[in-house]
Amino acid sequence: MIKGLYSSSNGMPPMLVKMEVLANNLANMNATGFKKDGMFVEMMKDSGVAPNSSAGELTTQLTIQRTTDFSEGSLKQTQNPLDFALQGEGYFVVQTPHGERYTRNGNFTLGLDGSLTTREGFPVLSSDGKITLPNIQRIVQENVVVTESGDIMIGKDHVGKMRIVEFRDQAKLKKEGSALFRSDEENDPGLIEKEFPVVRQGFLEESNVDGIAEMIEMIEISRHFESNQKAIASQDSTLEKLMEMGKL
């Protein structure tokens, strides 16, 4: 009986975390370049057996880890010459106040000085630093052409080349906001300069969230959580009756 109470209660915290993950995925379903999260639960061998401790200590037998699904989202054509998507693996590199960050969100714009930036104002980087388009007052955006290799052309003039990178182990990337990633591996981030990227101008990568699948999973988890609540209430009631019988 006691074991059943522990087992039921032990399964509820992961469900709450999973609900948070699903809710965050749905909230960012329309965010360009967003990668959905998942959850991994590591369970100790004897986590279903009540030790000589409180129920709160029992839940520490579960290790809950969030994971990121880095699969590619669908490409949406926008016809905007400053929208870019990467086909296949790779990340654009941007400069933030906290250092270099990596993103699949190619919804860029031009700053007042002609620099190519994200919508948040972070400069997009080439191998030589910031990408700045000359004579910004005279530039017509439609004349800005970016090749599949990331070379930026204005007419016949080569302005720069987007820096595109990939990682040997994407699992080491950590999310920062909805579409930025950072690497905590300072000594060896596993970063590789991508020699042959495929940059699609006039396209954006949509998030890889399947809204219907997320909603279905959310409903299933809600039902499982409710079932566990009922099981705990039922076992608690039965245990209370057994204790009353023991007093007779």
Number of domains composing the chain:
2
| Residue from 50, 56, 60 nearest 239 by CA | 50
Please report which confidence band the pLDDT of residue 216 belongs to, taking 50, 70 and 90 as the band edges.
very high
Q: Is the residue at 168 inside a domain?
A: yes
One domain, residues 87 and 67: no
Q: Which residues contact 34 (CB under 8 A, 6 or more apart)?
A: 28, 73, 105, 178, 179, 207, 208, 209
Other C-beta atoms lying within 10 Å of the C-beta of residue 97: 5
- 110 close to 183: Cβ distance less than 8 angstroms: no
pTM: 0.79
One domain, residues 99 and 24: no
Dihedral-angle region of residue 99 (phi above 0 means left; psi in -120 to 50 means alpha; beta otherwise): left
Rounded (10°) CA dihedral 144, 164, 148, 177: -70
Q: What is the pLDDT of residue 7?
A: 57
One domain, residues 128 and 149: yes
Q: What is the pLDDT of residues 62-91, one digit of tens each?
A: 677 888 999 999 999 999 999 999 999 999
Enclosing domain of residue 24? 2-71+222-233
One domain, residues 108 and 132: yes
One domain, residues 189 and 125: yes
**DSSP-based three-state secondary structure for 157:** strand
Residue of 144 and 53 predicted with greater confidence: 144
Q: Is the residue at 210 inside a domain?
A: no
Dihedral-angle region of residue 93 (phi above 0 means left; psi in -120 to 50 means alpha; beta otherwise): beta
Burial 226-237 (b: 16+ CB within 10 A, else e): eebeebbeebee
One domain, residues 113 and 192: yes
One domain, residues 113 and 172: yes
Q: Is the residue at 245 inside a domain?
A: no
Q: Is the residue at 216 inside a domain?
A: no
One domain, residues 86 and 36: no
Other C-beta atoms lying within 10 Å of the C-beta of residue 181: 21
One domain, residues 84 and 64: no
Burial 58-93 (b: 16+ CB within 10 A, else e): bbebbeeeeebeeeebeeeebebbbbbbbeebbbbb
Dihedrals φ, ψ of 225, to 5°? Answer: -65, -45
**pLDDT above 80: residue 226:** no
One domain, residues 89 and 192: yes
Instruction: Give the rounded percent of residues in the chain with a pLDDT score beyond 70.
Output: 75
| CA–CA separation, 171 and 221 (whole Å) | 26
Q: Is the dihedral of CA 103, 132, 81, 27 positive or negative?
A: positive
Tokens of 113: 């000085």
| CA–CA separation, 49 and 47 (whole Å) | 5
DSSP symbols for 81-127: TTEEEESSS-EEEEEETTEEEEES-EEEEE-TTSBEEETTSPBBEET
Please report which confidence band the pLDDT of residue 238 belongs to, taking 50, 70 and 90 as the band edges.
low
Q: Is the residue at 212 inside a domain?
A: no
